[in-house]
Structure 1
Amino acid sequence: MAKPELKSSSSLIMPGDATTACWSCGDMRASHFCSACGKVQPPVPVDYFSFFGFPRKLNVDTGLLEREFYELSRKLHPDLYARAESREQEWSMEQSSLLNDAYRTLKDPIKRTEYLLRLEGVELEEQSKAATEKARATGEVKKQVVPPDLLEEVFELNMQLEELRMQKKAGENDPMLIQEIGKQKMSLEAKYEALLNELRGYWDQWDKLVDSGAEEDRRKVRDKMLDLLNRRNYVRNLVRDVTEALESST
């Protein structure tokens, strides 16, 4: 059975956009269960926010999210439908799968932001289809563009890492070089956290604009969040590369 997917497109059904009769009793169904007869309902193509009945905002009440998750997990557990009709068994498994995916995404603030941006029609640089297809065609590793404000620092760091690799091949060890690269790593880690703090500020701006903002203002905030996430991911990858280089040198 193919795994159902919550699509991120204009075809998604938003809360209140449509009413559907329960397949069992014909009453107007709720999102996951019929409020009249209690029967589990087939999944509908909603986004992760709508699945939990949340607006598309980035400041999520994680306590409420967790409570909703465990409540739905209990009600949708496939074991409860072991003696039900086969379609009810299938729907409970599909709903449970969607529930788990939605919860994993929304409980993580970065995944939540990335997901919302995809709903808005934009993708992170390292996730873009064009970059993926190019890497697949050439056999190369997909690379991100160096953020302009990091060009000089990245150039110097790459030279130091290359020198470290050459020393390792030659069986040499330069404690001063290792110490300097370690300092660079600490600087990058500080930038990584600073970018997260900057991103948080735009979450508040976005949430306010969801209710009353003009499309142009929303676009500006969306583009800024995209830029911050791309930069943060680039710094994250740099920290990973530096960590691996330092570990291999010892």
Structure 2
Amino acid sequence: MDAMILFPAIDLKEGRCVRLVQGDMARSTVFSHDPAAQAESFERAGFSYLHMVDLDGAFAGKPQNAAAVEAVLARVKIPVQLGGGVRDLATVEGWLGKGIARVIIGTAALRDPDFVKAAARRFPGRIAVGIDARDGFVAVEGWAEVSEVSALELARRFEGAGVAAIIFTDIARDGLLKGLNFEATAALADALTIPVIASGGLASIEDVRRLLQPDCAKLEGAIAGRALYDGRLDPGEALALIAGATVISMR
């Protein structure tokens, strides 16, 4: 079994590292004015992969925090996955060319699934789909609009398309430290062959323990945001727990 990946999150707003509550841009907390230094501290803590979102880009429909992203890429060696404002192949190509390991497509996955499939064909293993759901239905445009398409229905459209991962966020829990929606995320992973990453609400070491239970075995990993910034989740303890569980499972 591969080790579950715990992805520390850096959400960019106006060049700064912030956390939102339920995706609301008006309810943001600035945690760092230097995203590159924040990324470096995550790398030093032992994380193996970084998750980044250009929040302004998600609303604008095109990248808005390129300078901050490039500063992060110049500072760290660990792979970075990035979403927010990715609506065309030129943007995908641009980010991959600058050193992003995996590009996340969110809104366009609902609006233009053929674009996702074309990108996944062209860049196999380097395209992820971000599915953000409110009450089980997909929300787009920086979570401002809720569609009538279920998360599972959308995810299934990309089966066999070469998509590297589905990043599933339960908006109702995001930024509230209420714990991940394990049931919905595990059910999604069980229904798909595409690996699923859990997002939204990871609150403590108990959530990391829960992720290591058999029903979550299919998950590729989970994203941690506010809990890391608030100090509720100790990186060393979380990563040691994951490493220990992986060794036991391989015996």
TM over 0.5: no
Q: Which has the higher helix share?
A: 1
Q: TM-score range by the shorter chain?
A: under 0.3
Which of structures 1 and 2 has the bigger CA Rg?
1
TM-score by length of 1: 0.27
